[in-house]
């Protein structure tokens, strides 16, 4: 049986970055994933799954040498972020306000994963098992044994980074608290009439938010929140019909679209694991928390988990403690649970306030947005929080 310091199940954006950060501490890592990401080619159309990567996440990806590979493939920086319901309460955040060159980048999830896997291939202390699936996990004598389809692995800890429907979380018997939202979201990749944009924006409509995330050139990823029945109807349209609907429904700021390339509907769920640690099993990323994607914070929270876990283990190693003891690992949960909960609750409060149809609430929220726009102190604090700095 092969022995490691740490087995990570899930080599997505969060699991793969965790493997690289822990490898920097000299730990021997086994990384398991059931699917290999498709190799990148510049002529490929944009993937539907993209993420708004915050400045804090960019720094983490730089520290594990993945950022340059991402830039060499495809990414789109944005310097401004617009939010509004009524035009008179339009609020815009600008990277100049916090002395930064940009606020973040829109990057396809697969490209982030590929850049991380390129680095993993250069690391002698990370072994990748893919495609592989977990058949069983067993915690014995202070160790974890993982049975894969073709072999058995053994380690001091097991990190679950296998996404929102985490099999490891379920096998460990860790429950979750959460709910399905009343609405669904549709992601639509389009060709825009406007050229390359440096802004990402979100308008709150009575039927739910709509958003534009810039992709390279005259391309964009649109997000359309609506009732589940309307998202079902939109899903049944041809790309040409959907193009028509987008041009009629989306705000003028979009500047119109020429065509729809791809579309996909997503359920909106909130799920928070009741504990992040069970014996030698640790949850990170969406396996621990999945959040309303309203403000594009999901993977950014996952990257914060990665950094917190690395810091806790590094401090333990540096001070001669047993880095895989429960007292050390429980510090990770202490550091992350409240921060994740705060972001989840803030997003829900935002979503709740902007979904309310009462004219009083409507007037209060638009006054609130106008006030934020006028107060540079509040504005810059909100912006720094969203950027993770
Ligand atoms: C519509 C939508 C829009 C979003 N937009 C944003 C955004 O703009 N910004 C943002 O920060 N976040 C966004 N998110 C959230 C973001 O996509 C997730 O937070 C992120 O993908 C979580 O990363 P992860 O690595 O934890 O999990 P995942 O991305 O789910 O990766 C899990 C990995 O584990 C592997 N795996 C799963 N099960 C097993 C198993 N049993 N054995 C082995 N391997 C397994 C999978 O193959 C995969 O590689 C959005 C989410 C949605 C639904």
Q: Note the pLDDT of residue 8.
A: 98
Pocket of ligand 1 (CB under 6 A): 9-15, 32-35, 51-52, 109, 133-134, 161-163, 167, 185, 187, 266, 285-286, 293, 296-300, 302
Rg (CA), the chain: 21
Q: How far is the CA of 386 from the centre of ligand 1 (A)?
A: 19
Query: Closest ligand 1 atom to the C-alpha of 166?
Result: 38
66 occurs within a structural domain: yes
Query: Closest ligand 1 atom to the C-alpha of 213?
Result: 8
CA–CA separation, 301 and 44 (whole Å)? 29
Q: How far is CA 385 from CA 51, 103, 368, in A?
A: 17, 11, 18
* Cα angle: 208, vertex 212, 213; to 5 degrees: 130
Query: Closest ligand 1 atom to the C-alpha of 267?
Result: 53
Q: Which letter, b or e, does each residue of 162-185 get, where b requires 16 or more Cβ atoms within 10 Å of its Cβ?
A: bbbebbbbeebebebeeeebebbb
Which residue out of 33, 48, 164 has the highest number of ligand 1 atoms within 8 Å of its CB and is therefore the one to mutate? 33
30 occurs within a structural domain: yes
Full domain range(s) for residue 128: 2-76+103-178+270-354
190 occurs within a structural domain: no
Q: How far is the CA of 49 from the centre of ligand 1 (A)?
A: 9
CA–CA separation, 115 and 133 (whole Å)? 22
Query: Closest ligand 1 atom to the C-alpha of 167?
Result: 41
Q: How far is the CA of 70 from the centre of ligand 1 (A)?
A: 17
Q: Note the pLDDT of residue 388.
A: 66
**Closest to 77 (Cα-Cα) out of 191, 220, 197, 254:** 197
Q: How far is the CA of 339 from the centre of ligand 1 (A)?
A: 19
326 occurs within a structural domain: yes
237 occurs within a structural domain: no
22 occurs within a structural domain: yes
CA–CA separation, 299 and 344 (whole Å)? 13
Q: How far is CA 169 from CA 3, 24, 138, 159, 371, in A?
A: 22, 26, 13, 10, 43
CA–CA separation, 183 and 179 (whole Å)? 12
281 occurs within a structural domain: yes
The dihedral built from the CA positions of residue 29, 30, 32 and 37, taken in this order, carries a sign that is positive
Q: Note the pLDDT of residue 383.
A: 65
Instruction: Output the six-digit token pair for 293.
Output: 């994607």
**Closest to 280 (Cα-Cα) out of 131, 177, 153:** 153
Q: Note the pLDDT of residue 358.
A: 64
215 occurs within a structural domain: no
Query: Closest ligand 1 atom to the C-alpha of 37?
Result: 49
Quote the number of domains for the chain.
1
| pLDDT tens track, the chain, 389 positions | 889 999 999 999 999 999 999 999 999 999 999 999 999 999 999 999 999 999 999 999 999 999 999 999 999 999 999 999 888 889 899 999 889 999 999 999 999 999 999 999 999 999 999 999 999 999 987 899 999 999 999 999 999 999 999 999 999 999 999 988 888 999 999 999 999 999 999 998 888 999 999 999 999 999 999 999 999 999 999 999 999 999 999 999 999 999 999 999 999 889 999 999 999 999 999 999 999 887 778 999 999 999 999 999 999 999 999 999 999 999 999 999 999 998 888 877 767 666 666 666 666 666 665 666 666 666 676 666 666 66
Q: Note the pLDDT of residue 202.
A: 93
Q: How far is the CA of 271 from the centre of ligand 1 (A)?
A: 13
CA–CA separation, 251 and 209 (whole Å)? 11
DSSP letter (8 states) at residue 36: P
CA–CA separation, 338 and 315 (whole Å)? 21
Question: Taking the mean position of all CA atoms in its chain, how far away is CA 251?
Answer: 26
Instruction: Output the six-digit token pair for 356.
Output: 């309310």
Q: How far is the CA of 47 from the centre of ligand 1 (A)?
A: 14
Q: What is the CATH number of the domain that holds 114?
A: 3.50.50.60
């Amino acid at each position: 049986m092969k022995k490691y310091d740490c087995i990570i199940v899930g080599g997505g954006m969060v699991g793969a970055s965790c493997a690289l950060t822990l490898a920097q501490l000299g730990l021997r890592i086994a990384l398991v994933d059931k699917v290999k990401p498709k190799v990148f080619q510049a002529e490929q159309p944009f993937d539907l799954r993209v993420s708004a990567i915050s400045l804090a996440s960019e720094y983490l990806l730089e520290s594990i040498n993945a950022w340059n590979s991402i830039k060499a493939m495809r990414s789109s920086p944005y310097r401004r972020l617009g939010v509004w319901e009524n035009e008179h309460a339009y609020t815009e955040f600008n990277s100049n306000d916090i002395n930064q060159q940009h606020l973040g980048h829109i990057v396809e999830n697969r490209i982030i994963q590929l850049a991380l896997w390129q680095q993993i291939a250069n690391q002698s202390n990370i072994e990748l098992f893919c495609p592989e699936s977990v058949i069983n996990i067993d915690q014995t004598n202070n160790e974890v044994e993982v049975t894969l389809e073709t072999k058995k692995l053994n380690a001091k800890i097991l990190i679950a980074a296998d996404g929102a429907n985490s099999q490891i979380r379920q096998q460990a018997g860790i429950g979750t608290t959460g709910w399905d939202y009343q609405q669904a979201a549709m992601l639509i990749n389009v060709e825009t009439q406007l050229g390359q944009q440096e802004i990402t924006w979100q308008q709150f409509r009575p039927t739910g938010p709509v958003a534009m995330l810039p992709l390279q050139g005259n391309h964009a990823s649109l997000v359309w929140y609506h009732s589940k029945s309307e998202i079902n109807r939109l899903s049944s349209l041809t790309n040409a019909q959907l193009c028509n609907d987008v041009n009629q429904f989306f705000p003028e700021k979009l500047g119109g679209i020429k065509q729809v390339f791809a579309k996909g509907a997503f359920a909106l769920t909130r799920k928070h694991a009741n504990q992040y640690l069970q014996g030698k099993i640790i949850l990170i990323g969406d396996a621990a928390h999945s959040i309303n994607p309203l403000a594009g914070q999901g993977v950014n929270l996952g990257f914060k988990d990665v950094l917190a876990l690395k810091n806790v283990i590094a401090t333990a190693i540096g001070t001669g403690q047993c880095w895989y003891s429960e007292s050390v690992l429980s510090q990770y949960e202490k550091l992350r649970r409240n921060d994740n909960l705060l972001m989840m609750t803030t997003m829900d409060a935002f979503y709740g306030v902007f979904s309310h149809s009462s004219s009083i609430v409507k007037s209060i929220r638009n006054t609130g947005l106008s006030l934020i726009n006028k107060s540079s102190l509040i504005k810059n604090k909100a912006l720094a929080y969203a950027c993770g700095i």
